[in-house]
Structure 1
Amino acid sequence: MNLRQLAEHLQLSQTTVSRALNGYPEVSEDTRQRVIRAARELNYSPNSRAKGLATGRSMAIGHVIPVSDRHQMVNPVFGDFIAGAGEVYAASGYDMVMSLVGEAGEEDLYRSIRARGNVDGMVVHGPRLDDCRIALLNDLGMPFVVHGRATRIEAPYAWVDSNSERAFERATNHLLDLGHRRIALVNGHEDMDFAWRRRLGYETALAARGLAPDPATMCAGEMTELYGHEVARRLLEGPEPPTAFLVSSLIAAIGVRRAAQDLGLAPGRDVSIVTHDDDLGYMKNGADVPIFTATRSSVRDAGRHAAQMLLSMIAAPQAPRPTRLMEAEFILGASTGPAPI
C-alpha cells in the first residue's frame, strides 16, 4: 500500500495523511490517531530513505539505554515503552537506534550521536532528580523528550510522565481507610524522580491523617522480585511487622506476596498489598479479577505519547515544548482488605 491508497482509504488528502504520520502540530490528535491506526492495520510502510532525501532528515530516533549494576534500564518496563514508541515510528517511516552505555560514558555518547547526525531526536529514559542529560541535550540543540520528569531541573524540556505522587497518595489513603496504620513502602532508588514522587505521595497521605512515616518501614532499591521478597520477609519477621505494603513495581510486589505466603499469611486477609502496575503486555495483573490492588498507568501508552510528541517537535522545531501528565487508574484487586485486629 502506498500513501495515495492509504489516503483514499481514509478519505483524507495525501498531505493530511503525510503530516499526520510525521507529527505536524496542525493535524488534530483524533485525526493523527486515526491515520496511525489505519497505517498499522493496513501494513503501510513509508520509504524512509526516500523521505530522508526529501526532508534532509535521518528518519531515525535514538534511545540511549544506561546500564549499571545498580539500575538496569534493560527491563520489562523499558521493553513495553519501546513497543509503544515503535508503533508510532514505524507508521511514520522512522527507524529506531538503540545504544547501550555505562552511566559514566553517557555524556560522550550523546555528543557523539549529535556530531554524527544519524538521528533526528532522542528519548531520555530513567530521569534522576537533577538529571544532567537535560541541560546537555538543550545545549546540543537536539530535539528530545524525557520519559518522566526531573524535579530539580528548571529549564524547559518536553516530557511525558505518570502522576506518581497523586497515585501513591491515593493508594496510601485506600490502605488508611481500611484501618492500616503501619504501612511499609517498598520503593525504587529514590534518586530516580518517579520513586521520589511516589514517596512524597505516601508521606503526604500519612501526614494528612496525623501519622509520621517510620523510616524502619521505608525501603528503596532495585525493583526485582528478589528485592521485594527479601524486604517483605525481613519486615514481616520483625518485632513490629507492617499490616500493609505499598510497592512501586508489580515485579517487586510478586516478591512481597511470596514472602507473605512463605510465612503462612494470606494477601488480602492477613496482610494487604497495593502496587504500581505498568500494564505490561506479557505480565498482566490477573485476568477477570486483578491479583493486586494497583495504581495502573500503561507504559506502552507513554511510549506512544512520547514518540508522537518527539515527531511533532522534529516537524515544528520552533513550537513550544510539549508536556503530558498521565493520571493513573486505581484498580481494586484481591490483595487488600481491612487491617487485621
Structure 2
Amino acid sequence: MNLKQLAEHLNLSQTTVSRALNGYPEVREATRLRVQKAAAEHHYTPNARAKGLATGRAMSIGHIISTSKKHEMVNPVFGDFITGASEAYVEAGYDMVLTLVEDGDEARLYRNIRDKGNVDGIIVHGPRMNDSRIGLLTSLGLPFVVHGRASDVTRPYSWIDMNNRRAFERAAGFLTDLGHRRIALINGLEFMDFAHRRREGYLAALATAETAPDTALMRQGEMTEVLGFRAASEMLALVDPPTAFLTSSMVTAIGVRRALADRGLEMGRDVSVITHDDDLSYMPNGTDEPIFTAVRSSVRNAGNRAAKMLLRMIAEPDCAPLQFMLEAELILGRSTGPARPRQT
C-alpha cells in the first residue's frame, strides 16, 4: 500500500496522513493514532527519500566519535546505547550516521554537517566538565541531546543522564553499613563529568560514615579489565589494604576479581566488590543470581530515551530544552559481605 491508497482508505488527504506519520504537532492526537494504527495494519512504510523531500529533513541522526575514543565503539556500554537509540530511529523512519573525526577537528565537522544538512540532529557522547561542543552546537542551531551532563556549562541544553553522584553515594554507603572503612574507588577518567560525579558520591558516603578518604585507595583511568587488575593488585599489596572496592564498570570489576584470585582471596567473603553498568546485553551479570552487587541503570533505555527526545526536538523546534534524570537501583549479588576483622 502506498501513501495515496492509505489516504483513500482513511478518507483523509495525503497531506494529513503524511503529517500524522511525520509527527507534526498540528495534527490532532486522535487522527495521528488512527493513521499510525492503519499504517501498521496495512504494513505501510514511508519511503525515506520521499519523506525527506516532503519534510525538508535529512531523516538521519548523527553520532560523532573522536579518533582517540574510537575504542568506545567496541565498548558494550556504547553498543547498548546505540541499540536503544536505533530502535527509536527505526520506529520513526530515521537512519543513523556514525562518523569518526580527528581530535581537535570536531568544530569543523559540525559546521560542515550544518552546511550540508545531511543529519537533522546530533547525539553528543562523553561530555567533559566544560564541554565546548555544547556552545558550538547551540550557536550552529543544530538540535542535539547530550548523553550525560557538563557540570561547568551554565547555558540551558538538552540532556539525559544517570544520577551518578547518588548512585555511588548509595553504593559506598551500602559498604560502610557492612562495616567497611577501607573502601577503594576505581573510577573512569575524572575530567569526564560522569566520573567526577561518581567520585563526589563516594566521598560523600565516606564523610557520612566519618571516614577520612585515602588517596592511596583511589584510581582513575580508561575503564578496562587491566585497570581493575593493576589497581587492585597495587592496593592489595598495601600495609593496610582495602576491604572493599567500588568500580565504575563491570569490565573493571572483572579485573579486580582476577587480582583477588591471584592473592587467594574470595570475592564477597574476604573482600567486597560493587560495580556499575552490569545491565549489558553482551555481558550479563550472572544468570540466575547476580555475580556482582551493582548499581544498575539501563544504558539501552537511556539510548532509546535520548533518541526520542532528539526526534521530538526536530519535530517541535520551539520546545524548551529537554532534560531527563535516570536513577540507578541497587542489585544485590554474591560479591559483597560484612567487613572481616583484620588479621594481626
TM-score by length of 1: 0.89
Give the number of the structure whose alpha-carbon radius of gyration is greater. Answer: 2
Contact 1:268 1:335 in 2 (8 A): yes
Task: Report the counterpart of residue 240 of structure 1 in structure 2.
Answer: 240
Contact 2:278 2:285 in 1 (8 A): no
In structure 1, how many angstroms separate the alpha carbons of the residues matched to 2:209 and 2:27?
Answer: 47
Deviates more, 1:63-72 or 1:141-150: 63-72
Superposed displacement of residue 321, structure 1: 1.1
In structure 1, how many angstroms separate the alpha carbons of the residues matched to 2:27 and 2:340?
Answer: 55
Contact 2:77 2:277 in 1 (8 A): no
In structure 2, how many angstroms separate the alpha carbons of the residues matched to 1:215 and 1:89?
Answer: 44
Give the letter aligned to residue 327 of structure 2. Answer: E
Contact 1:61 1:97 in 2 (8 A): yes
Deviates more, 1:139-148 or 1:205-214: 205-214
In structure 1, how many angstroms separate the alpha carbons of the residues matched to 2:148 and 2:37?
Answer: 25
Q: Does 1:258 align with 2:249?
A: no
Closer/same/farther in 2, CA of residues 209 and 121 from structure 1, 3 Å limit:
same
Task: Report the counterpart of residue 10 of structure 1 in structure 2.
Answer: none
Contact 2:295 2:328 in 1 (8 A): yes
In structure 2, how many angstroms separate the alpha carbons of the residues matched to 1:186 and 1:38?
Answer: 52
Task: Report the counterpart of residue 275 of structure 1 in structure 2.
Answer: 275
Closer/same/farther in 2, CA of residues 250 and 140 from structure 1, 3 Å limit:
same
Superposed displacement of residue 38, structure 1: 11
Superposed displacement of residue 211, structure 1: 1.6
Q: Runs of 4 or more off by more than 6 Å in structure 1?
A: 1-7, 14-21, 25-29, 35-44
Contact 1:223 1:251 in 2 (8 A): yes
Deviates more, 1:144-153 or 1:96-105: 96-105
Give the letter aligned to residue 57 of structure 2. Answer: R
Contact 1:277 1:285 in 2 (8 A): no
Task: Report the counterpart of residue 10 of structure 2 in structure 1.
Answer: none
The number of aligned residues is: 334
In structure 2, how many angstroms separate the alpha carbons of the residues matched to 1:147 and 1:121?
Answer: 13
2:195 aligned counterpart, secondary structure: helix
Give the letter aligned to residue 124 of structure 1. Answer: V
Q: Does 1:337 align with 2:337?
A: yes
In structure 2, how many angstroms separate the alpha carbons of the residues matched to 1:321 and 1:93?
Answer: 23
Deviates more, 1:45-54 or 1:122-131: 45-54
Percent identical residues: 64
Superposed displacement of residue 128, structure 1: 0.3
Closer/same/farther in 2, CA of residues 68 and 20 from structure 1, 3 Å limit:
farther
In structure 1, how many angstroms separate the alpha carbons of the residues matched to 2:129 and 2:271?
Answer: 32
Closer/same/farther in 2, CA of residues 39 and 280 from structure 1, 3 Å limit:
farther
Give the letter aligned to residue 87 of structure 2. Answer: E
Task: Report the counterpart of residue 64 of structure 2 in structure 1.
Answer: 64
Q: Does 1:92 align with 2:97?
A: no
Closer/same/farther in 2, CA of residues 210 and 132 from structure 1, 3 Å limit:
same
CA RMSD, 1 decimal? 3.2
Task: Report the counterpart of residue 182 of structure 2 in structure 1.
Answer: 182
Superposed displacement of residue 287, structure 1: 1.2
Task: Report the counterpart of residue 153 of structure 2 in structure 1.
Answer: 153
Write the mapping of 1:299-318 to structure 2, written as runs, cut at 5 A: 299-318=299-318
In structure 2, how many angstroms separate the alpha carbons of the residues matched to 1:262 and 1:21?
Answer: 59
Q: Deviations over 1:188-231 (max 9, x none)?
A: 00000000010011011111122221111011000001111111
In structure 2, how many angstroms separate the alpha carbons of the residues matched to 1:300 and 1:19?
Answer: 29
In structure 2, how many angstroms separate the alpha carbons of the residues matched to 1:37 and 1:176?
Answer: 53
Superposed displacement of residue 53, structure 1: 0.9
Q: Does 1:214 align with 2:214?
A: yes
2:105 aligned counterpart, secondary structure: helix
Superposed displacement of residue 257, structure 1: 0.7
Which residues of structure 1 form unaligned runs of 5+?
A: 8-13
Give the letter aligned to residue 335 of structure 1. Answer: S
Give the letter aligned to residue 104 of structure 1. Answer: G
Superposed displacement of residue 6, structure 1: 10
Q: Deviations over 1:263-306 (max 9, x none)?
A: 11111000000000251111111111001000001111011000
Closer/same/farther in 2, CA of residues 262 and 115 from structure 1, 3 Å limit:
same
Task: Report the counterpart of residue 133 of structure 1 in structure 2.
Answer: 133
Give the letter aligned to residue 188 of structure 2. Answer: G
In structure 1, how many angstroms separate the alpha carbons of the residues matched to 2:184 and 2:240?
Answer: 11
Q: Deviations over 1:120-139 (max 9, x none)?
A: 00000000000000000001
Contact 1:190 1:196 in 2 (8 A): yes
Task: Report the counterpart of residue 101 of structure 1 in structure 2.
Answer: 101
1:104 aligned counterpart, secondary structure: coil
Contact 2:183 2:245 in 1 (8 A): yes
Give the letter aligned to residue 235 of structure 2. Answer: L
Closer/same/farther in 2, CA of residues 20 and 130 from structure 1, 3 Å limit:
farther
Task: Report the counterpart of residue 290 of structure 2 in structure 1.
Answer: 290
Superposed displacement of residue 46, structure 1: 3.0
Task: Report the counterpart of residue 47 of structure 2 in structure 1.
Answer: 47
Closer/same/farther in 2, CA of residues 318 and 180 from structure 1, 3 Å limit:
same
